[in-house]
Structures are given as structure tokens and as C-alpha cells.
Chains A and B, each alone.
Chain A
């Protein structure tokens, strides 16, 4: 669009990150302004699953993690050999959802990301019902091929928003003040984060 930037019209399907099942379809527009400021996005998705079912799954995931009496910790998820300990899968799933919000904020027309690895995770036990985790995640940046280390603090309660605060530092450059907050319904996020992974 002359003087404004590039606008993309997208139609895509999403799949469950874990099972690969179809989880819905979306229509979106993305406008990348000429001045390199963050893109303007409109998106509407139709989930394949019944919202009640999604709620149930969220609840189950929540209970699984809530059940621990000791704070969950872990590192190198997956490990060098691609393995993820079954006990750490829920915490990894949350990392995927949370880091997608970081990637959402950082991506540009010609810069994209993948989650390369969860370097470390530590749970903070709270007096209230919320789950809270401190993560260090490694993002693989395209096309620079850099591995970006981001510190991510995530809080979650089913059927409420997944709140993410992050701070990313590039290994090889000056520290970027990339902190920000992203929020969205966990159910939505956990379900949409299928994409093409």
C-alpha cells in the first residue's frame, strides 16, 4: 500500500502442537508499516474444538501442575537429544504458549522466530491460585540465525489470561530493552499456537 507499507491477507489452519490434529482455521490481515514499527494485526479464528472441551483441557493441565507440592524446575527442554521428560511436558507447553507472545511482539516482515529450547524453568509457588513460572527460553531468529536468550515470567489461571513479561538479550550485541507484556486468553493461545510447528 503506497506510503503505508505491506499488507498481507492470510487464511490458514492450525494444528494441535502436541498431537498434530487440526485445531481450527483463521483469517487474518497483517500490515507491516513502512516505518518498521510493530505490525498491525487483525485475526479471527474458528476453533475445531468445543469451547467447553478446551476449558476442560485447560483445567486438567492446571490441576496437573497445581498438584505438585514442590516447585517444578527443569532445564534444557528438550535436551540435546530432543528428549522431553514426560513430567516436564506441561511446563514446556506453557513455555511454548508464553514464548509465542514474545515472538509475536518481536517478529517483523522479514524477521521470524522459533522456540529453540527452554534453557531453564523455575516455578514460584503462590499463595493464590495462579501458576507462576520463571523461564529462560532460547529463540532461534531467522534469517540472522542468532540464538536469542529471553527471560520470561509467566502467570496463568485457566479461563483467564496468560500473562507474559519478557526481557530478551542478544548474546552478541548490546542488551536490547525488549521487555513487554503480552496477554491473551490461555485457552485461545494454547489452542492457536499450533500453526506450522
Chain B
């Protein structure tokens, strides 16, 4: 596993096609403090271009050093002259990289749940492929629906978790509305997997799925998501063309028919909060609208974003409190407490407009006005240190803590059907 991680970072760093032909990795075991200092000096010599994969810090821990082919002679002479013991743990780094590249390509094609790494960020194709695997592995619980197509004709897939019945009361979850919020699609995959796993294991999830359905759209904005991988990591909107403008895309969280056109959105197509020419102009949004309306029996709707660590409920377009404000506030308090109990992550909560800012035409304002009382939006980790660029090491902890909060909301909905 460690080697895979190490190579992944090497591969990620080689986007400029840097080669490591003949380069070696040496494992060095310093004998005393002086040797440790010597190694540090070695590491700092710019012309040698050596790279410590494991730094020389103490006598009990060997250091691993990547040495370019051209520096091998000099480095080995240096070590031998000072009696610093070393061994060659990788004879030719490029060879191993090539092998690894082959394996990675192979495992992407592998249709097996157990090899999917939930702790790393994936491409849209990898996520779609994993969805099929999930369905294959849980055929009596999970199915994949297509509710429409994006502007660039990518499929809008929704996973349906159902144990039967006909048009049961349902929960809707979504992630990836704003493409740059990568932590959301990532926890979306983990959570969908969790739901499938927990059925038959966890009593409350089992009870819920025995009476309700769950719909989960993991990638609400596939065009944007593809764009964050190919071109601009910080892209937020859809990728629809705006006639008469060179600027692309509409903010899918300002395109809904609730306070549409208000000052909590922009009329400028170049803006990152551009509302679009009219409500539901974006197929990504319209598909969900059509689905929700025709289903008619959705009781809770949770749309997941990042970052800021907030749990929000309507309204964003008006300061008028939502009629169910008190109940929504209480649920939020419980959900946030459950979330915090895991890793101490602190969340704030409240209505969109009082907690974050005015937002017109946002998703959960529309769903709430449709009668879906339990409409919530999450803003996941962090609070700005990494922002959109949250390290992958935080994916699983974020997913785990968010799951605690989601369960609170889902269970409350189940126990308070209307």
C-alpha cells in the first residue's frame, strides 16, 4: 500500500513526463548522529538532486533516498568513504513506475469493490465505473437510474437504494453540484457504499431502507467535474455556453426557481454566481426538478457542498424565517453534535441567509418550497486552510463524521413522516 501511495505521488508529479530511468532508491542506516548530519548535508546539495523519501531523523529509523542516475557514483562514494551502510532497495525506479502504471490502469478496469480506494480522489469515469460495480454487488438493493443529460451530453446518474414497494417515501442526497468541491463527490462515493454495506448490518439503516428509498446523485455536475480534472481545478459552474458571451457556465446553485433573479445571485454570465438566463435553464438542475416533481414523495433533501463546516437550512433568498425553522434548527443541532463527536470537527448551523450570505435561486430553498420539509445543505471541511484543495487523507474522516450527521437527519425524517 505504501509503495502504491509513494508511486501515486511520483506519478502525479510526473505530469511533465519526467523519467527516472536508472535512478535508484537507497536505504541508508546511519550509525551515529554525525552520519545523520552528513546525510542532511548530502540532501541539501542542489547539484546532486537527491530526494529523501524518508528523512534521516534518528538512529533507529533508516532513511530512504532517491538518487538520480547521474549522481549515483558520487553519492555511493560519499557513503562508502564515510562508512555509512546502505543497500539498494530499488534498482531502477523507472522500471517499477512502468509496472505500476500498468497495474493502475489494470485496477481501474477491475470490477471489484475491494480494490476501490475510497481515500483518494477519482475521475468521473472511475466513479461511474465504480457505480456499476456497486450495483453488481448489491443487485437487490441498488440500481442506477439516468435522470437526464448534462449540457455536454454526459449522463446524470442517480443511485437508487430500495428494498421494494412502490413509490415509497424517499430521501434524496446529492454531491458534486459545484465541481471544484472535490471532497463532496469523494464522500458521496464512500457514503453510497456505506449505505449499501450497512443494510442488513446496522439496525437503523436497515429499518430505514425497509420502509423508505434513498436516491443519491453523486455527480450532479459532470461537465464541471470533468473540467476540474482536465483544465481548471477551481471551476465551479456548469459548462453551458452563454449566447453573446465568451464566458461559460451557470452556477447550478443559483438556477433554481426560488427567489430566482434576486440579489443573492448575479446576472453577469462571467460571474461565478451567474443565475442563468432563466430558472432551470441548466439540464443538470432541470433533471432534478423533473425527478422530484414526478416522484412526488420525497421527504428529505440533502445537498452537499464544501467548504466552511456548516449545516444550513432554508432560506437563502429571504430573511423571512422558514415556517419549520424551529424544528430544522433542532435537527441541525443534533446532527452537528453527532458529527463533532467523532473527530471534534466544529460546525456552525442556521439558515443560509443568516449563517453564510444571501443566495437567490438555491437548491434547498426550492425543494423546501415544494413541501420537502427536511431540506438541508452541508458545507463540509475545512474552514479555509486548504479550502477546495482538501488533502485526500481527510476524505474518509470527513465521510465518517458527515455520515453521523446524515443519519440523524434521515432517522428524524423516518420518525416524522408527513
Chain A: residues with CB nearer than 8 A to chain B?
A: 17, 67-70, 76, 78-83, 110, 114-117, 138, 140, 142-147, 171-173, 196-197
Contacts and interface: CB of A to CB of B under 8 A. Distances in A.
B389 A82 contact: yes
A80 B271 contact: no
Contact of A144 (B272, B383, B388): B272
Given A144-B272, A145-B273, A173-B270, A82 B386 contact: yes
Contacts of B270: 171-173
A197 B307 CA distance: 12
Interface in B247-278: 247, 251, 266, 268, 270-273
B383 A196 contact: yes
Given A69-B46, A70-B46, A82-B392, A145 B385 contact: no
A144 B125 CA distance: 31
Interface string B346-389: 00000000001111000000000000000000000001111111
Given A76-B233, A80-B121, A171-B270, 20 more contacts: A68-B46, A69-B47, A78-B386, A81-B389, A81-B392, A117-B234, A138-B234, A140-B234, A142-B357, A143-B357, A143-B358, A144-B271, A145-B236, A146-B271, A147-B234, A172-B271, A172-B272, A196-B383, A197-B383, A197-B385
B69 to A, nearest CB: 19
Most A CB contacts (10 A, CB to CB) among B234, B270, B358 go to: B234
Most A CB contacts (10 A, CB to CB) among B357, B359, B385 go to: B385
A133 B228 CA distance: 28
Question: Do most interface residues of chain B lie in helix, strand or loop, or is the interface mixed?
Answer: loop
Given A69-B46, A81-B12, A116 B234 contact: yes
Contacts of B120: 81
A17 B271 contact: no
Contacts of A81: 12, 120-121, 389, 391-392
The 3 A-B pairs with the shortest beta carbon distances in the complex, nearest first, are: A82-B391, A172-B270, A143-B357
Contacts of B390: 82
Most B CB contacts (10 A, CB to CB) among A17, A116, A142 go to: A116
B44 interface: yes
Contact of B389 (A110, A117, A147): A117
Given A116-B234, A117-B234, A80 B389 contact: yes
Nearest to B183: A82
7 contacts: A79-B389, A82-B389, A82-B392, A110-B357, A116-B388, A143-B273, A143-B357
Nearest to A140: B387
A30 to B, nearest CB: 18
A70 to B, nearest CB: 5
A155 to B, nearest CB: 22
A172 B249 CA distance: 12
Interface in B110-153: 120-121
A80 B233 contact: yes
A8 to B, nearest CB: 17
B201 interface: no
A145 B270 CA distance: 12
Given A144-B273, A145-B272, A147-B234, A83 B391 contact: yes
A144 B303 CA distance: 20
Given A117-B389, A172-B271, A67 B384 contact: no
Nearest to B391: A82
B229 to A, nearest CB: 8
B9 interface: yes
Given A82-B386, A114-B384, A172 B247 contact: yes
Nearest to A79: B12
Contacts of B385: 17, 197
Contacts of B394: 82
B114 to A, nearest CB: 22
Nearest to A64: B44
Most A CB contacts (10 A, CB to CB) among B229, B386, B390 go to: B386
Contacts of B44: 67
A58 B166 CA distance: 67
Contacts of B247: 172
A114 B270 CA distance: 20
Contacts of A142: 357
A172 B9 CA distance: 33
Nearest to B237: A145
Contacts of A17: 385
Interface in B385-403: 385-394
A115 B46 CA distance: 30
A117 B121 CA distance: 18
A101 to B, nearest CB: 16
Contacts of A117: 233-234, 389
Most A CB contacts (10 A, CB to CB) among B47, B121, B233 go to: B233
A176 to B, nearest CB: 14
A142 B384 CA distance: 11
A116 B9 CA distance: 21
A172 to B, nearest CB: 3
